[in-house]
Amino acid sequence: MPSLSRSIELMRNSQTQNALIVGGGIGGLTTALALQAHGWRVRVIEQAPELSEVGAGIQISPNASRVLRALDLLEPLMDVSVTPTRIEMVNGIDGATVFSVPAGSAASVRWGAPYLHCHRADLVGVLAQALDARQPGALELGVTIEKVIESDEKIALQTDQNRHEHADLIIAADGVRSTIRSQVFGDGSPRFTGNVAWRCTVPTTTLGKHAPPATARAWVGPGRHAVTYRLRGGDLVNFVGVVETDAWTDERWSAKGTLAQALEDFSGWHTTLQHIIENADAHYRWALFDREPLNRWSLKNMTLLGDSCHAMLPFVAQGAAMAIEDAWVLARSLRQQRDLGIGLRSYEQLRIPRTSDIQRRASANTGRFHARSSIQQWWYWQVPGVAAKLMPSLVHRQFDAIYGHDVVDEMRNH
């Protein structure tokens, strides 16, 4: 089988179809690379004037890293990533361990690809650099889509610069507040889930003895939870703290909060978390939105991808991973089907059940992470803790359906 770079070279002379991808985030850039590797000429337009660092850390689970490996991106990604030593759940108040199982090499052996933590900006940088190397000038920043133009056979787009954008295929990877989705399907606005996430990073050396370990650690407690892990070679600690609230009134979906607010939300919690919050330079609050699963993502020459079609709570850390999976399946579906409509239907048939299942798992974890009653806490925390001590493989098995899912092999055999 020829290498990816050789396949790209062989296809370059026969590229006749053009794809326009709206959204220069993880999903959009991965889609551009996957389509380009499968014979398409691609363009990505992004409304932001620059690719920024907002959002901090991201978990790249094995189901996503195997796609990046297939795109020859794993080596540069690992250069800017941290491999967590363990996957853990602890009590957020007293730090007592619920379960702790090996990750690292054990994750690669069990699920066939590495489990990584990286800064979101570093992943976007790896993707953007690869796209520029493989198709220079494919990414254009500072362009906003204002209107969808629908004709009898095709969909086109109008930008804020009054340009009309046409392509054989248009992919809306423009997030939970997708302009294209709202205009094409008219199914309303995303739904506030009643959860707000605090996000911040702190230099590991600043925390000293209070730095959390280099693990994927969830701190659970009544009505809230936190996640900590390392970034950038272990030099940064990433913190995400999710709090249930009905008090979000800001029209923006993210805003800068205050130290006092963050400390109040995690008052009485473990000193490790208190020190992270106290030493962060900035405290950002993100309202968490999701949507009901769709039974259709495509119309004519347009389809949805990533958060635009399956926005979910981050409680299984799979939002970006699902977009990365989408990218590979879309590219392979179109490669295997000469007819665009058939290819898009194949993409939907493969992805809608998978992403809907992950959306449901993420929502269900609200009760598990935020258990309030003593009975719930016993069931969600004590029972798994005992089971993990008696048979650690039971904990690994919980993740098999997510981390062990292999879209690369699935599409090879599809």
What span, in angstroms and rounded, lies between the C-alpha atoms of 34 and 325? 10
Q: What percent of the chain has pLDDT over 90?
A: 78
Question: Residue 249 — pLDDT band, cuts 50, 70, 90?
Answer: low
Quickly tell me which residue has 């990433």 as its tokens.
Answer: 238
Span 178-185, average pLDDT: 93
- Which residue, among 240, 316, 276, 273, has the nearest Cα to 57 in the 3D structure? 240
State the pLDDT at residue 12: 44
The residues, any chain, with a CB within 8 Å of residue 103's CB and separated by 6 or more, are: 83, 84, 85, 86, 87, 115, 215, 216
Strands 81-82 and 116-119: antiparallel
Question: Residue 8 — pLDDT band, cuts 50, 70, 90?
Answer: very low
Question: pLDDT tens digits for 111-138?
Answer: 999 999 999 999 999 999 999 999 999 9
Query: Left, alpha or beta for 386 (phi > 0: left; psi -120 to 50: alpha)?
Result: alpha
**pLDDT of 252 over the 70 cut:** no
What span, in angstroms and rounded, lies between the C-alpha atoms of 392 and 377? 20
Contact 262, 241 (CB under 8 A): yes
Q: What percent of the chain has pLDDT over 70?
A: 93
Question: Residue 275 — pLDDT band, cuts 50, 70, 90?
Answer: very high
229 catalytic? Reply is yes
State the pLDDT at residue 251: 53
State the pLDDT at residue 15: 47
Catalytic residue, from 115, 229, 347, 380: name it: 229
Question: Residue 107 — pLDDT band, cuts 50, 70, 90?
Answer: very high
State the pLDDT at residue 334: 95
To the nearest whole number, what is the mean pLDDT of the chain? 91
Stretch (H or E) spanning 395: helix 393-403
Structure tokens at 166: 């046409």
Number of helical H runs and strand E runs in the chain: 17, 20
Question: pLDDT tens digits for 132-168?
Answer: 999 999 999 999 999 999 988 899 999 998 999 999 9
How many Cα atoms within 13 Å fall on the side-chain side of residue 280?
Answer: 26
Contact 286, 197 (CB under 8 A): yes
State the pLDDT at residue 335: 87
Structure tokens at 62: 């094995």
Contact 362, 315 (CB under 8 A): yes
State the pLDDT at residue 386: 83
Span 257-272, average pLDDT: 96
What span, in angstroms and rounded, lies between the C-alpha atoms of 78 and 234? 13
Alpha carbon distance, N-terminus to C-terminus of the chain: 17
State the pLDDT at residue 11: 44
Question: pLDDT tens digits for 345-370?
Answer: 999 999 999 999 999 999 999 999 99
Span 381-385, average pLDDT: 84
Stretch (H or E) spanning 80: none
CA angle 52, 302, 181 (to 5 degrees): 60
The predicted model scores a pTM of 0.93
How much helix, strand and coil, in percent to the nearest 5, is found in the chain?
45, 25, 30
**pLDDT of 10 over the 60 cut:** no
